[in-house]
Amino acid sequence: MSQPADLIRALVRPAVQSMQAYHVPPATGLVKLDAMENPYGWPEELVDGWLGRVRQAQLNRYPDPSAAELKQRMRQALDIPDGAELLLGNGSDELIQLLGMALGGAGRTVLTAGPGFAMYRLIALFTGMRYEEVPLREGDFALDLDAMLAAIAAHRPTIVYLAYPNNPTGNAFDRAAVQAVIEAAPGVVVLDEAYHAFCGESFADALAQHPNLLVMRTVSKMGLAGLRLGYLMGHPDWLAEFEKCRLPYNISVLTQLSARFALEHVEVFAEQTRRLREERERLFAALEAMDALTVWPSRANFITFRVPEGRAVSVHAGLREQGVLIKKLDGSHPMLGDCLRVTVGTPEENGQFLRALERALG
């Protein structure tokens, strides 16, 4: 094959050439505690009921481009404010991309607080935007309001992203500080509530008061990561603009059908997430009891902790050798040196992780 290197250098946009593709490590055969998935499957009756619906699916037809029935079901099952419109994405990752396409371009800036969610930066770069990150406070990862307000004044960001609770730090920022950011921002503020099911607090009720506020959620962390379904809530006029950038059939027949079915049984997921919240507290207590670790409290379904200096790579590898996969945060951000992140699993999985961790720490 002839080498395309020169053409690539000439044609691929510099911002893209300088990026790294998002890497997902292989997990086959491992206890998978790296990606904030819900570990629980469905009860047998639910699987049977779902298969009955799948049998009726018409895969020869395009999906309903407006996903009208799914949206109606979402309004019944998820607490969505009355005046808010819904925009659906193939995961909330796609919604972040849609926002970049509608609001992005040269001279426009995405601002967020870091360490934060990796996709804000990646998508800002490939939608031609500048990316600015305000460090969270050292120690407790709180939002540094003065620094945020100074950055908002200096950069006049088109989009501010705040994850509430934040990934990978697990904390939910002070509400008054978030409110102050919304009021000071000249552009839109997107509250990313991916971990809503584990937090219990939301900014959705504030949508009516702020013309620049958007609230984004996903069904991924509550137990449906495989479906790829995220939703943005906001004023109908905003969402009408973003709709123009949405590809008409982004939510597949199988996703629409499966999400509708799952949300008819939303109590199953509510029970699973309730158990995970309890498990999170048990896991937190067990980690905190280990002298070698610094552990941060979490409002999400994961816990971030720091191992002794220089040990993150060996502890992460040691866990993996014992069949447990978690996320190595060390090396991903200056404030996350020696840090690892574990997703809350079943009691058995968490027990396996804790035993493996003790051994890996030596």
Ligand X SMILES: *Cc1c(COP(=O)(O)O)cnc(C)c1O
Distance, CA of 339 to CA of 240 (rounded, Å) = 41
Q: Which residues contact 165 (CB under 8 A, 6 or more apart)?
A: 171, 172, 195, 198, 199, 298, 299, 300
Q: Under the criterion CB under 6 A, does residue 115 sit at the interface with ligand X?
A: no
**CB under 6 A: which stretch of 122-130, 218-226, 288-296, 318-326 binds ligand X?**
218-226
Tokens of 300: 């999400």
* Minimum CB distance to ligand X, residue 58 (Å): 26
Nearer to ligand X, 225 or 254 (CB): 225
CA 235 to chain centre: 22
Nearer to ligand X, 117 or 238 (CB): 117
Query: Of residues 41-80, which lie at the interface with ligand X (CB under 6 A)?
Result: none
Q: Which of 167, 255, 273, 304 binds ligand X (CB under 6 A)?
A: 167
Nearer to ligand X, 123 or 315 (CB): 123
CA nearest neighbour of 89 among 204, 259, 208, 235? 259
Q: CB-side exposure of 339: number of CA atoms within 13 Å?
A: 20
* Minimum CB distance to ligand X, residue 119 (Å): 7
**CB under 6 A: which stretch of 53-61, 217-225, 236-244, 286-294 binds ligand X?**
217-225
* Minimum CB distance to ligand X, residue 85 (Å): 18
**CB under 6 A: which stretch of 87-95, 97-105, 126-134, 317-325 binds ligand X?**
87-95
Q: Which of 194, 214, 263, 319 binds ligand X (CB under 6 A)?
A: 194
Q: Under the criterion CB under 6 A, does residue 220 sit at the interface with ligand X?
A: yes
Q: Under the criterion CB under 6 A, does residue 127 sit at the interface with ligand X?
A: no
Owner of token pair 């495989």: 226
* Packed helices 253-264 and 266-288: angle between N→C axes, nearest 10 degrees: 80
CB-CB contact of 130 with 118 (8 Å): no
Tokens of 241: 């603009």
Tokens of 152: 């908002």
Nearer to ligand X, 38 or 352 (CB): 38
Cα dist from 251 to 64, 75, 86, 255, 298, whole Å: 8, 17, 13, 6, 31
Nearer to ligand X, 117 or 242 (CB): 117
Q: Which of 77, 123, 124, 163 binds ligand X (CB under 6 A)?
A: 163
Q: Which of 85, 93, 132, 338 binds ligand X (CB under 6 A)?
A: 93
Q: Which of 92, 202, 272, 273 binds ligand X (CB under 6 A)?
A: 92
Q: Is 359 helix (H, G, I), strand (E, B) or coil?
A: helix
Q: Under the criterion CB under 6 A, does residue 193 sit at the interface with ligand X?
A: no
CA nearest neighbour of 212 among 193, 190, 230? 190
Sheet with 109-114, strands from edge to edge, namely 85-89, 230-234, 213-218, 188-192, 159-163, 109-114, 130-135
* Minimum CB distance to ligand X, residue 93 (Å): 4
* Minimum CB distance to ligand X, residue 321 (Å): 27
* Minimum CB distance to ligand X, residue 94 (Å): 7
Which string of b and e fits 89-127 if b means at least 16 CB within 10 Å?
bbbbbbbbbbbbebbbeeebbbbbbbbbbebbbbbbbeb
Binding site for ligand X (CB under 6 A): 36, 91-93, 117, 163, 167, 192, 194, 218, 220, 225, 230
